[in-house]
Amino acid sequence: IQACQEEAKESSRRVRGVGSGRRRGCARDVRKASPCGSARMYGGDGGAQQDDLYTGYDNQENDFAPSIEDELQTQSMGSFSKPAPPSTARLGTGMNPATAARGGDDGPRPLTSVRAAGYSSQVRGKLNPLQAVTGQVAFTSVLKKPEQTFEQQCRTDEREVHRALEESASLSAKGDNSMALERAKEAAKLERALSKKREEHSSGDQINLDLTFSVCLNLGQEYHNNKLYSDALNVYTSLAKNKQFSQSGTVRLKMGNTYFEQGKFPNAIKMYRMSLDQIPTTSKFMKFKILRNIGLSFIRMGQYQDAVQALDSVVENIPDPVAAFNLLVCMHALGDSERMQTAFLKLLGIKAKSEVEEVEEGEEG
């Protein structure tokens, strides 16, 4: 019996790695493999001792009882056979299940497959509740006004100059010469600042010369309207000496008018004649109006014969009632009755002023 027990113990050690569910089967195999048989091992008939076969099986001292190591090994083997529960985490785009289905306390893994296209699973911006009530949702932090480039800033400054220039001209037409002069000064100040800005950024070649000329010419005209003749002449002189401006004929005409207002008729006649040389031949009515101003200057100086030459050419070419009347005055001053009668007939043949203006506008168009 002792030999059979030792053999049973050795067999038990060989099958120690099997789970507790198979322990009974191993015991039966051991009994079958024993040469003494189960009846002889326990002393008596096999049928009588069948119920006592597993007596004391659960005791710790029993060699056939499973140990703590067996329980741990059984649990480890059972974990391989038991299928894992399905994961509730959101699958990602990777092929590694450890990183694609990562969950836990931090929540599911964020979606990153569309990040390169500019999309995100998180809401950006700040919700404006006032606009959300009306059905329009706006994100104030996203909709930001882009910064202007240097050229856009210059365009904005040019619009400000144009606005001040137009307001000055409008006020002058209404007879408010003082306010018109203030707006003209403001337009000139804005234009100088704009030109300086372009020069500092090495873009002086992009300065709007037409805008500069218009601002300075308007400033000189407003000085003239406010009886500030010296300031007006300074502005006109600077424009006339600047070779970048091709409208020097208009500037000379303005200077002649200023000298005429001052009573400096020789200087006025000089400026008028210089203007005649610089005005293009296409400006027909402008040339004859300058000749009329020359004739009026000669009349103020008492040189009636020179005035007759200037005014006669005007009356022969355009229907100008002012020139015809002053020509009649010169003939009367000279005592030439025949030519005075001729001048009077020419004056009667001239159309009304409104009709003359319509003819001039059609000719210029």
Tens of pLDDT, residue by residue over 197-221, are 888 887 767 888 899 999 999 999 9
| 188 and 215 Cβ atoms separated by less than 8 Å | yes
Candidate from 47-56, 168-177, 271-280 with smallest mean pLDDT: 47-56
Q: Which residue matches tokens 């909709």?
A: 143
- State the sign of the Cα–Cα–Cα–Cα dihedral 313, 314, 319, 321: negative
Query: How far is Cα 103 from Cα 108, in angstroms, rounded to an integer?
Result: 5
Residue 263 has pLDDT above 80, yes or no: yes
Rounded mean pLDDT, 118-126? 56
More confident residue, 243 or 143: 243
Residue 294 identity (one-letter amino acid): I
34, burial (CB in 10 Å: exposed 0-12, middle 13-18, buried 19+):
middle
Query: How far is Cα 364 from Cα 29, in angstroms, rounded to an integer?
Result: 130
3-state secondary structure of 139: strand
Q: What is the pLDDT of residue 256?
A: 95
Query: How far is Cα 142 from Cα 216, in angstroms, rounded to an integer?
Result: 45
Residue 150 has pLDDT above 50, yes or no: yes
Q: What is the pLDDT of residue 188?
A: 93
Is the full-model pTM beyond 0.85? Answer: no
Rounded mean pLDDT, 104-127? 58
More confident residue, 27 or 201: 201
Query: How far is Cα 360 from Cα 287, in angstroms, rounded to an integer?
Result: 13
Rounded mean pLDDT, 288-298? 93
Query: How far is Cα 35 from Cα 11, in angstroms, rounded to an integer?
Result: 13
